[in-house]
Structure 1
Amino acid sequence: MKLQALTPIDMDIRGMAPADSASVHVESLKSSLYMRLVFGGMLVLFLLCTFASPLGYILPATFAGLLCIGMWRHAQVITGPVIALGLALIWILYRASVPEGADFSNYETYEKLVWLKAVLQAICYVPLVIAGFRLSMTDAGALMAGFKWGVLALAALALFEALTQARIYMALADALGMPIRPDLAVVKISLMSYGLMMIYWPMMLYFNQTGANLPRVLLTASVAIAPFFTGANAPTLALVASVIIFFVARRWSTLRGVGIEKYIAIMVYGVILGFPLLIKFAHEQGWLVALKSNLPPSWLARVEIWEYAANRLFEKPLMGWGFDTSRMFSPHIPLHPHNMPVQAALELGYVGLVLVAVLWLVSIRRVGKTPDAQIISPDHLLWTDPKPYMLATMTAFFVFAFLSFGMWQEWFLALAAMSIFIALMTQKASLQVIMYQNKL
């Protein structure tokens, strides 16, 4: 049996091997105790924050990013996304401003500089992604050995809390002397579904490879049922959308010789650029009047926010109103428009929106070059393609960004960075499982 060692940059899907041979893509990276400690700690905090407070995601993502800041020297593994992100940050800085009379001796002044936080997050979070590419299979397997049990415990907890309306969360709050209203407690535990949904497909990749049926059933039940009992609509929509993309990508990995990720990337690019125009056009045609009369309160609020923001953004369509200026439109826009394309266009104009769309375009296309966990055995029976799982994960994040959260919310971006790391970790851990099963 022939083994072929490749670097992470070269680890592309090569296609089917000849019938009389097998090929295994193996990374030539050394195991690192430092990587295990840093990211082991990050993963533990990720699980704890998913239950206790998603806002806490900032802590593990920032510290892990700082502790692996040297990964920037390997930025060539994601050259396209890094360049696109850099251009977007330059435009953000150009359209940002410093409050008049700002007192830089006061910490609160820095807290209000969202553009500064955006830059610092890019500096800290990008190394997490790069580290995912640089992680060795041995380290990935060691990290997954504990993380998988933590995920299953979290999934069971999320399901129990949803069915009992936050029974454990309220008991802990009472024990800590911080009682919380039952309805607010349910809102708090509903956020667990967002974190679980972001790691659902990577974990399914791993569990599918190990053939573990019970973990797959438990995890799926949690992401499918818990949102129903907590009233969280976005995770349910994210699950439905990601399931569609998963099966499309698995059925047509390539279409007319072109990777399916390129078609999806172009589609997302068009949606980002076209959505504000669509809202504006629907408003002018009077379509939104009939639509809003048939919407539940939460969706009605979203559509009204998008409608107002779309009208205001076309007052300054090219340059936008300025970075993080969504807040100035209160009460019509509470904090942010709850929609990535609308917020980007409103604040950064169509120049900024194009840069955001390009970042998504190159990031989705990069999925076709991620470290693949594939083995072609002589009988062609063993095959694990991570691409559908990764595209499904990006779909879930896109749905959340499109419906729920602001573009610059630190915890949401921290969740994205850690989810990418986890996705890459599961790919390599899955490959290690395949190699172990076949004694390679």
Structure 2
Amino acid sequence: MTTAVAAAPSRDRLGIWCGWVLIGAAALVPILGWLAPLGFAPLLALVGLLCLPALRIADRDRPAAMILFAALIWAAVSTTWSPYHPSKPANSSILKLAFELPLYWSAISAARRADPVLRTRALHVMAWGCAMYGLVLLEEAVTRGAIYKALHASYEQIRDDIAESHVGHSSQVLALIWPLAACGGPRRWRPWLALAMVLGTGAAARAFGYDEPMLSLVLAPLTALIVWRWPDRAPKVMAVAAAVLFLGMPLLVWGVRHFFDYEAIRHALPKTDSMRLGYWSHAVDWIRLRPVRGWGLDASRMFGPGIVLHPHNSPLQIWLELGGIGAVAAAALWIVALTRLAKPAPSLAAAATAACASVYLLSGVSFGVWQEWWLALGALIAVFAIMNASTKETVG
């Protein structure tokens, strides 16, 4: 009895500490999204480091934890046959992943442990900050990135086309996180906050030629609506679809190449998309040679000029580097994550989380899977999904 009473204040202090750390992180999210997306990796790592005492693996977390740990071990083993050998620790993906897994898990644990009042405050900070983020993107679309260029010029000159590309790229960040960001706002303000985020994302994406955020603005609300309408079945269907995506991507590319004029399709697309299809085709050829164990972590870097850095497709990169074993692990992780969104009644938090997950899956078809900022954004979605789920009541 005495021990339990004495421990209570300590737990309270930890919850308060986690809450303030998350408030600070929430305030930085829109700033990093606009000016420095690569900063999401150190941000999530810092949150995890500061909240390490909150690190827990609950019973319901064990399936995901086991999959992630097993995948990390397999990735480490695969480096023994990978043709890529990093010249310095900063270039080693396995070293980064070994630190990211516990630190990002710690950040997720902090979201659960945070003081409820401070957790709600962090969600409000995130919501209002991302609404401002959307309004800034709207202004940047009208002025062709005037604020971004002026800020950058204060410490380093930058070409106009590169600056505009950076602003367009930042619209992808808001396109990914806006459903959960808006969900965390005050109830009566949520529609207006969401509107500011959507308008800014769409305007910047259109102005600077980014198609993916435009697709996301259709996919996210549609996914949320479906999960709201069928709260139990829809997440399970999503889980199956995600597994099929990761397991079947090489077969899909092979099928298009075999039954259609792949080169004609490539040449009909914009240059960036055409290059991606070229990488995908080369990746499938290499995958066929080692379909089970793959070529080893980071092996994609060694397949130039057919593949530059990576295939720009997360499922194909996992197949190429970690083989079918890695692809099964990725599919299993998505099944576990998405089926946990199934609810007996409509849940706004679950619908918003599913919306963000659908955009993450869509964007993964064109991104490298081991990019630190991208993995950090995935962890950020998990953090704010848990925070929203902890503060929102299920609606009957």
Name which of 109, 112, 117 aligns with 2:88: 109
User: Contact 1:205–1:427 (CA<8 Å) still a contact in 2?
Assistant: no
1:399 equivalent in alignment to 2:362: yes
| 1:81 partner letter | A
Indicate yes or no: 2:225 matched with 1:242. no
Q: TM-score scaled by structure 1?
A: 0.81
Who is 1:16 aligned against? none
**Does residue 301 in structure 1 map to residue 275 in structure 2?**
yes
1:44 is matched with 27
Identify unmatched segments of 5+ residues in structure 2: 1-10
2:127 maps to: 148
Assess, with a 3 A threshold, how the Cα gap between structure 1 residues 142 and 30 changes in structure 2: closer, same or farther.
farther
Residue 122 in structure 1 maps to residue 122 in structure 2:
no
- The two structures, once aligned, show a CA RMSD in angstroms of 2.6
* More helix, by proportion: 2
1:131 equivalenced with 2:110 (yes/no): yes
Match of 2:3 in 1: none
Counterpart check, 1:410 vs 2:372: yes
Question: Separation in 2 of the partners of 1:270 and 1:88?
Answer: 18
User: Residue 283 of structure 1 aligns with which residue?
Assistant: 257
Alignment of 1:374-385 (within 5 A): 384-385=347-348
Q: 199-208 or 88-97, which moves further after superposition?
A: 199-208
Aligned-residue offset at 1:75: 3.8
C-alpha deviation, 1:346, in angstroms: 0.6
Matched residue count: 384
Q: Deviations over 1:412-436 (max 9, x none)?
A: 111211222123223444459x9xx
Aligned to 1:214: 192
Please tell me whether residue 54 in structure 1 is matched to residue 37 in structure 2.
yes
- Please point out which of 321, 330, 351 is paired with 1:388: 351
Find out whether 1:264 has 2:264 as its counterpart: no
Q: Which amino acid aligns with 2:59?
A: Q
Question: Residue in 2 aligned with 1:191?
Answer: 169
- Paired residue type of 1:151: C
Tell me how far apart the structure 2 counterparts of residues 285 and 279 of structure 1 sit (CA, whole Å). 10
SS of match in other structure, 1:386: helix
Q: Which has the higher contact order (CA 8 A, sep 6+)?
A: 1
Counterpart Cα distance in 1 of 2:347 and 2:287: 45
* Structure ID, larger Rg: 1
Question: Within 2, Cα distance between the matches of 1:417 and 1:359?
Answer: 13
Report the CA distance between 1:250 and its aligned residue.
1.8
Q: Which residue of the partner structure matches residue 307 of structure 2? A: 333
SS in 1 for 2:340: helix
State the TM-score, normalized to the length of structure 2: 0.89
1:251 corresponds to: 229
Of the three residues 306, 328, 344, the one matched with 1:354 is 328
Q: Which moved more, 1:185-194 or 1:321-330?
A: 185-194
Match of 1:172 among 125, 145, 151: 151
- Alignment match of 1:83 (pick from 23, 43, 66): 66
Q: Does the CA-based 8 Å contact 2:23-2:119 persist in structure 1?
A: no
For 1:238, give the aligned amino acid: S
| CA distance in structure 1 between the partners assigned to 2:269 and 2:256 by the alignment | 16
Aligned to 1:345: 319
In structure 1, distance between residues paired with 2:382 and 2:57:
16
Question: CA offsets per residue over residues 386-410 of structure 1, 9 Å max, x none?
Answer: 222111110011111112x211111
Q: Kindly indicate whether the alpha-carbon contact (under 8 Å) linking 2:205 and 2:211 is maintained by their aligned counterparts in 1.
A: yes
Measure the CA separation in 2 of the matches of 1:46 and 1:204: 13
Q: Confirm or deny: 8 A CA contact 2:231 2:342 kept in the other structure.
A: no
Residue 402 of structure 1 aligns with an amino acid whose one-letter code is V
Residue 290 of structure 2 is aligned to residue 311 of structure 1: no
Give the superposition deviation at 1:307. Answer: 0.9
Partners in 2 of 1:293 and 1:146 — Cα distance?
A: 45
* Structure 1 residue 34 corresponds to structure 2 residue 17: yes
Identity level (%): 27
